[in-house]
Amino acid sequence: MENNISKIGVFTSGGDAPGMNAAIRAVVRASIYYNKEIYGIMQGYEGMISGEIVKLGARSVGNIIQRGGTILKSARSQEFRTPEGRAKAYQNLKKNGIDSLIAIGGDGTFTGLHKFFEEYKVPSICIPGTIDNDIAGTDYTIGYDTATNTAVEAIDKIRDTALSHNRLFFIEVMGRHSGYIAINSAIAGGAIAVIIPEETTSFDQLFNLLEQAGNTNRKSSLVVVAEGSKIGGANELAKKVAERSNYFDIKVTILGHLQRGGSPTYFDRVLASRMGIAAVEGLLKGENGVMVGIRNNEMVYNSFDSIIHHHHAIDAESLRIAKILSI
């Protein structure tokens, strides 16, 4: 692979996702495999601005593939949004001889790197690391599989107590703008209903569904709610149902940041490893201003322009399956 790249910088930014460490490991070891120096930039764009940059070796990333979170830490940087902040970041890269970047994160991370790439032309590639699975150009993002499995495990446990006490549980999962975790954990967990940001289900429709379940002698029910629901979160929906009917014994569980942590699944570890290697190899082949993605189990490269501010839409088939299984 003939190229002018000699020193690669890798960083994580935005919300953490299980599997980020596996991606870091793959980037580091692939870089060394191809005889390139590799540097870890701590705290995302903040570390780029402050100069918190460390050289990494193969042993630097030993025993991290199974760990959640990110060893490079993550932070959101307001200063990087300014031309002055980006200028500082560029000077620190130059000082360390870093001539290319690999970022692991979500839409906000990509937007920042896209702007930086436009201004300074530093060869850059992104790896999608976000539990929401909402990035266009890829079938899966790193962390989504683990977060959804975490949600399903929690739903299974909640179902045990729901059945024991004939209760209605509202379970809130992450997803401000994306219902991927909600809809697939609802299908896998046997929920009676799922409320996601992409759909326009009204409260009346939800209440009627719960009433119908009661009329068919259903003794317990689970409703999965994405945090970005347009008709209210789990607490608000539970309150509205309680105000309209005393038939239900209602409880609420908000899973919250539980979904971000934990050891990544095998799928996320393998996906992150493949994406990390593809990012390094992409740089060495001359790919710039792109994101690594996976489509039909093949690694692909998507231009920043084609993915930024575009979302991976929920497929109609998942919605249809959830509706059929709710009766």
Beta bridge partners, 9, equal 39, 101
Residue labelled with tokens 């109609």: 316
Residue 155 and residue 185 in contact, taking contact as beta carbons nearer than 8 Å:
yes
CA angle 106, 260, 50 (to 5 degrees): 55
102 SS3 class: strand
Residue 98 and residue 47 in contact, taking contact as beta carbons nearer than 8 Å:
no
User: Per the residue annotation, which of 16, 132, 134, 145 is the catalytic one?
Assistant: 132
| CB atoms inside a 10 Å sphere around CB 64 | 16
Tokens linked to 92: 């620190």
How far apart CA 211 and CA 213 sit, in angstroms, is 5
Q: Give the full edge-to-edge strand order of the sheet including 290-295.
A: 53-56, 37-41, 7-12, 100-105, 124-128, 290-295, 298-303
Q: In angstroms, what CA-CA distances link 252 with 93, 204, 234?
A: 48, 19, 6
The strand ranges marked E within the chain are 7-12, 37-41, 53-56, 100-105, 124-128, 168-173, 193-195, 221-226, 250-254, 290-295, 298-303
Residue 132 designated active-site: yes
Which long-range contacts link 298-304 to residues 24+ away (Cβ below 8 Å)?
A: 299/274, 299/275, 300/137, 300/138, 301/125, 302/136, 302/137, 302/138, 304/110, 304/113, 304/114, 304/117, 304/126
Task: Name the residues annotated as catalytic.
Answer: 132
